Structure 1
């Protein structure tokens, strides 16, 4: 005759992700030797639970349930497991012993059919698809940061407080003000002794009996879950199992045990009542698989409802039961030494002593995380917060990312990505790391294409770095960090194709059809080319051409041009064809040049500043493009604008600087032809073909062989003098200066006349005007680098002194002593030796050096006499 149900069933109420609970559970299961193990989780996972015994399954991992055929409700849910999770240890024990494992929670088909509510804990920064934990509020310590309820001990708020964090009430009754510390002391830090499960079950029964009634919707949800748990237990009894182990959240223990008592009360749940509770539940078709998880996502701070504050610390407590404090400090010292911080063995010894002393003073059985952290800060980090933050990130939370075996069920898109990662030796990691790709190498080029394609699919495994383009168009810098929720994105993106390339191409075509503006289309085109999506590029280009032809807003056209030019440039480097873009770019340049004059009329300060940014972007884009015809057309447009009456000072100053840097304005102080205003034009028939196309900052210069506007009559000094003259309002003058210097302040370091003009203008301002323009000037000069500001200040300090005048006129230089050094430098740079290597003499009346004319012996003789 079979034993009574309550003798055949043993219920273990555990705390999810608790190392003490896991260790106690392992001992209890070894003593019980059950013939079936029931674990809280979705029963659809029974078919794949055997994969937990595969050597390739390395926790932390998670069961992922996702909707297959759509429908209302949630799209996916996770059930995470760590090495120190009691459920994981129960599963591994059953698989080692060769006994069945069954999940006993409400099926995922019903769970995902429910509309998202407060129990759906969306992961932060994961996009539009919610990834909730499976019923996070079933955990006895869901919200470890929530303290005991301060309100009256009745009503829905009090009920929610008890339900969300029952440990807080137990800790409060035990005289603790921290539920985490109480649980660690009584459970997690236990080295031996009797198992705590009976005491936990009794405490939970008392809490359930005295807790205020929760909200009605919460009651319905909990009744369904616990009804299904009891149904699973009854099925195991019916199947003839004699030793049934049930591993579930401690809160549910009284509800399951109530149906198994030797003398059930009249109100105890019955099988018929549970069937009525579960009848007619909404359901969707779901699929389950295993996916890698990370300790960062297991932490409570990630938004995971059942998370713990210190996954790395809990993993250490479970993996190192022997002398855990000593081993912890040894590992901390190793981490700090890797960062070149001096930590000796004496530091470790003192830290252990301090942690033990703090635990004794605080009445704790073992030094906990608080004591260990205090000792680490005081001894190993010597009071510095930054090393402590490093330990918090790398060890207390941890950087571990799990792995799943190849036999795990996956959608084709996931399988293709895994194959690509293996082919490219490109393995994911939860730790953010920098990756520098050289696109001239085939393997790096394929890695770049894979990262760009994944970004199109909403899987930002890699974030482009800001410094990659500064190293040349053949280099890319990425920051890589894999997040578990990316697997959900891959599952959702499986509808676009079976491979990453096909899915990205289909997604790009769909985005092109749905794009609402020119900026979106240009950004999409910029993504398609580096992703090498030749199949999708024609559709994107057709949509882009149609939208560009219909868009009459010059601001939109100027905003779209830089992205298209970058795409053209990247297309050349990657060896992919970008000819469809050339026609679009040609048309945009013409339309921008035609429409810009009308765009600069009647601008206020905000509009002028916005236009300034767009002008700089277009100027830089055309510099990158290097097309002589487009460059000449752009310069011609700027030429027509610079003397337009009523032009905003910010725009006028910026256009003046752009034309000066392009060589289209004389940089002398007076008119061309004068001794002090001689234009720096080529002599002896030199047509300027050797002039560089741009400076270090990428600005366009004279294009070899291309036409360009003639130089202006009048130097930059005269233009600045007019801009800051007494007849100009201080606000306009300050805006002109800001626009002119927005490209950098080095021009004031190298051009003494311009510096003197700015200094004289500021000195002549009346007090009220000075107070008005000072914020503008501070904003302008605040954008300069510190060395630039220092050099400008030093030159201003010398204005009016003999050294300042000598420096300006070149009178303090000993030309004979400087000539050998100049010849040596010219020789190193590959230039000719001889007289051309002598320092250039400065004109007696001007403030700049005269150009050295090759073959001008008379000037050489004059220079020798000087």
Structure 2
């Protein structure tokens, strides 16, 4: 046993290749070393349950990830991501192409997922293991940036496919083979781990790795290659505990049923980690280093120039040439073998972007991180729900993408309508691929979505696989289950009805409507009914626009409206300011819903004429008229009811009501609340009705200083909600009225009575009365 990464057991030889996860230099080194060693077995750090999935690797398009999950427990899941530049991925591809058995050797996912989730992801003390062993080595070499040290020593080594042989640092090993480098890494990690006592979880992981190595040797393999994180090399190739000690450490571990499959991953998600997958902040840059070993700096900057040109920015070949020179000069000044990401970024900012940080951010997003998303072919095991979604994505031409994509739908078109149905069904299944936004243009036939695929969506589909084999069937079952739980609030059930209509799930509607009807009959809180009604009316309306039958909706809507009309007189009694403001929102929402219901011109269910909806409007307005005459209403409620009735043509004495509300017998605070409620419908009324404007103006000017200070917050909130043109028109109206009063006062001026005042003013300004002219008077 040695600390050089090689373990000899009799005639068998185990070579442990310590790597940096997702390191392109490590990936090239691993591939080169495997081709030199020609092992007869390859062991890779990862969950052993995935051994059967290795055969699918050649058909996958990375980045991809192994997904391990516990059926029925969505919180217990883990991902092991792989990029094309991941050393483990290159080891898998080599093993499959060479016909060499490839197995995973880490602690099984059945044990890992059985553990209670930890905040930090580790169970050892904070000082037991370096947070970043690579950082420890970099600091020992005099580097303050671990990424830069790794790039200098590993990523830019030409013998592994790079372009920096002439610039290799003196401390780098020879390039004729990758083996010396792995020996150096093994020795360095042995020094870093000197005196280290593994925590419980780390000890078990390494014990299982050693057990897997022993099993491979027992099966007759004599040339075993192990690809793992560099941190584990001393534990696998150095002095080791006995097999009995390892077995004792692994005995009695908690266990759950774990299922594994391949799922697409994204470069953006490589910045996070799960399982062994340490994140990298620049996957696009690492992808470039791995796939473009020849003149990587020149090709990178040329690609960056192309990104800027696509955005309409003027970037010439001279810009690219000068940026290359600057990047190479910076690398030379800093003693680096090749310009790294920091140098090319600085050159990009100074030359290509001319100091524009927004342009630099664009390159950061497009190139340094990248928008690449992996692809998993149909032959890979997946649940029927995943397969159905994939088929629909192809049929509807909705390709999953890693970056946000805006999608505008016209529901009058069959293709767009089907797309809408699919996205709404996925939202019911908690698959947030699409997020609805504010539709452009007018009409309920338009929808706008923002699409962005995330790896977690596959986990959500797997978790809901038991609900059905298709997206439609699973969403129907999900809606019925939510309605039948018995704990859903009335507003939740009405929202669920709306979702079922948007997703075109007619089979789910009977169960949801039955639950809604039962809940509405038992709910005695009128505010709950008022909060739920708008969604019900929208659902009724959508049923008409989308051509979706909404049987039973009209009956429930009428029943809810009846209960609201009966309960509202009690609900408006004895309200404080906050309660009045909350109830006012509900009144406005119900009023808008009733107006929408009245606009519905198609026959409602049960073969009743559309006039039934108009009758509902009349009964609602009659309820509001009865409330508006009460003397115990909160000023905010009374003012708003007056405005609603006025706008609907139900009042001809609004001026008299305002006069009473703002008379001297009313407290200023209540009068201000009344004005706030009355004017919350907008300021155009004051622009077009001089009498009402005069009443408000007279009331305001009649307040004392203290009274005005007390009501100012309410007035500012009220008038601040008006549109700027409305405020400007009101001001012009008041100015015109003031000028008319001034002119009227001038016509009634008595010159003789004013002569004394004129003489006083003239004396103040230095003029004598004797010199006063008729014009001055």
**Do the two structures share a fold, i.e. TM-score over 0.5?**
yes
Moved more, 2-11 or 406-415: 2-11
Q: C-alpha deviations, 1:378-437, integer Å up to 9, x for none?
A: 444444443333333333222221110110101121122222222222222222111122
Structure-1 residue corresponding to 2:721: 783
Quickly say closer, same or farther: Cα 1:186–1:572, change in 2 above 3 A: same
Q: Counterpart of 2:473?
A: 502
Query: Alignment partner of 1:282: what SS?
Result: coil
Change (3 A) 1:367 1:721: farther
2:184 to 175, 180, 199: 199
* Unaligned ranges ≥5, structure 2: 1-6, 160-173, 599-612, 745-777
Q: Which residue does 1:189 correspond to in 2? A: 156
Indicate yes or no: 2:528 matched with 1:556. yes
Cα offset, 1:553, TM superposition: 0.4
1:370–1:775 Cα change, 3 Å: farther
**How far is 1:791 from its partner?**
4.6
Instruction: Provide the rounded CA distance (Å) in 2 between the counterparts of 1:805 and 1:581.
Output: 63
TM-superposed deviation, 1:616: 1.2
Q: How many residues align?
A: 705
Report the 3-state secondary structure (helix = DSSP H, G, I; strand = E; otherwise coil) of the residue aligned with 2:738: coil
Q: 1:313 to 1:774 in 2, by over 3 A?
A: farther
1:752 CA displacement:
4.5
Partner SS for 1:471: coil
Cα 1:541–1:158 change in 2 (3 A) is same
Q: Which residue of 1 aligns with 2:213?
A: 233
CA contact 2:420–2:503 (8 Å) conserved in 1? yes
Distance change (3 Å), C-alpha of 1:416 and 1:771: same
* Residue equivalent to 1:66: 69
State the 1:570 CA deviation.
Answer: 0.8
Partner Cα separation in structure 1 for residue 356 and residue 372 of structure 2: 25
1:208 to 178, 193, 196: 193
Other-structure match for 2:257: 285
Q: Deviations over 1:503-549 (max 9, x none)?
A: 21221111112233211211111111222222221111111111101
Aligned to 1:465: 437
Q: 1:189 to 1:608 in 2, by over 3 A?
A: farther
Q: Alpha carbons of 1:785 and 1:18: their partners in 2 closer, same or farther (altered >3 Å)?
A: farther
The structure 2 residue matched to 1:313, chosen from 285, 293, 301, is: 285
Q: Residue 17 of structure 1 aligns with which residue?
A: 22
Rounded Cα–Cα distance in structure 1 between residues aligned with 2:727 and 2:23? 57
Cα 1:644–1:333 shift into 2, 3 Å: farther
Q: Confirm or deny: 8 A CA contact 1:224 1:278 kept in the other structure.
A: yes
SS of equivalent residue, structure 2 residue 682: coil
- Secondary structure of the corresponding residue to residue 622 of structure 2: helix
**Residues 1:730 and 2:668 aligned together:** yes
Contact 1:296/1:302, CA 8 A, preserved across alignment: no
Distance in structure 1 (CA, Å) of the matches to 2:741 and 2:188: 87
CA contact (8 A) 2:49 2:260 kept: yes
Equivalent positions of 1:317-328 (< 5 A) are: 317-328=289-300
The correspondence of residues 580-595 of structure 1 with structure 2, limited to 5 A, is 580-595=552-567
Q: Which moved more, 1:752-761 or 1:271-280?
A: 752-761
Pairs within 5 Å for 1:493-532:
493-514=464-485, 515-532=487-504
| Distance (Å, rounded) in 1 between the aligned partners of 2:230 and 2:663 | 82
Note if 1:641 corresponds to 2:627: yes
The residue that corresponds to 2:607 in the other structure is none
Query: For residues 277 and 40 of structure 2, what CA distance do their matches in structure 1 show?
Result: 32
Alignment check: 8 A CA contact 1:297 1:304 kept: no
2:369 aligned residue (383, 392, 397) = 397
416-425 or 611-620: which moved more? 416-425
Whether the 8 Å CA contact 1:167–1:179 is kept in 2: the answer is yes
The alpha-carbon distance between structure 1 residues 170 and 765, as it changes in their structure 2 partners (threshold 3 A), is farther
| Contact 2:27-2:86 at 8 Å conserved across structures | yes
- 1:27 counterpart (32, 41, 44): 32
Please tell me whether the aligned partners of residues 80 and 298 of structure 1 are also in contact (alpha carbons under 8 angstroms): yes
SS of structure 2 residue aligned to 1:428:
coil
Q: 1:771 to 1:5 in 2, by over 3 A?
A: farther
Shift of 1:550: 0.8
Q: So what's the TM-score if we normalise by structure 1?
A: 0.76
Residue 462 of structure 2 is matched in structure 1 by: 491
Cα separation, partners in 2 of 1:481 and 1:791, compared to 1, 3 Å = farther
Whether contact under 8 Å (2:78, 2:275) holds in the other structure is no
Q: Give, in whole Å, the separation in 2 of the partners of 1:32 and 1:795.
A: 92
Mark the CA change 1:659 to 1:306 in structure 2 (over 3 Å): closer, same or farther: same
Counterpart of 1:660 in structure 2 is 646
Change (3 A) 1:364 1:448: same
Contact in 1 for aligned 2:81/2:277 (Cα 8 Å): no
Instruction: Report what 2:684 is aligned to.
Output: 746
- Given that 1:258 and 1:269 are in contact with CA atoms closer than 8 Å, whether structure 2 keeps it comes out as no
Q: Is the 8 A contact 2:439 2:446 kept in 1?
A: no
* Alpha-carbon separation, structure 1, partners of 2:719 and 2:277: 49
2:770 paired residue number: none
2:88 equivalent to 1:87: yes
- CA distance in 2: counterparts of 1:800 and 1:304, whole angstroms: 78
2:207 & 2:680 partners in 1: Cα distance?
70
In 2, Cα distance between the equivalents of 1:742 and 1:384? 45
User: In the alignment, is the contact (CA less than 8 A) between 1:354 and 1:375 conserved in 2?
Assistant: yes
Provide, for residues 591-643 of structure 1, a one-character-per-residue CA deviation record: whole Å limited to 9, x for no partner.
11121122112211211111111111111111111120111111111112223
Do the aligned partners of 1:298 and 1:304 also contact (CA within 8 Å) in 2?
A: no
Q: 1:82 deviation in Å?
A: 0.9
Secondary structure of 1:589's match? helix
The change in CA–CA distance for 1:379 and 1:421 in structure 2 (over 3 A counts) is: same
Supply the distance in 1 between the matched residues of 2:15 and 2:743 (Cα, whole angstroms): 96
Aligned mates of 1:13, 1:5 — CA distance in 2:
23
Question: Could you tell me the TM-score, scaled by structure 2's length?
Answer: 0.84
3-state SS, counterpart of residue 116 of structure 1: coil
For residue 731 of structure 1, report the CA deviation from its aligned partner: 2.6
In structure 2, what is the Cα distance between the partners aligned to 1:322 and 1:101? 31
Report SS of the residue matched to 1:579.
coil
Question: 2: distance between equivalents of 1:302 and 1:355?
Answer: 35
2-structure distance, mates of 1:304, 1:104: 12
Pick from 169, 172, 192 the counterpart of residue 136 of structure 2.
169
Question: Is the Cα contact below 8 Å between 1:529 and 1:570 reproduced in 2?
Answer: yes
Q: Secondary structure at the match of 2:552?
A: helix
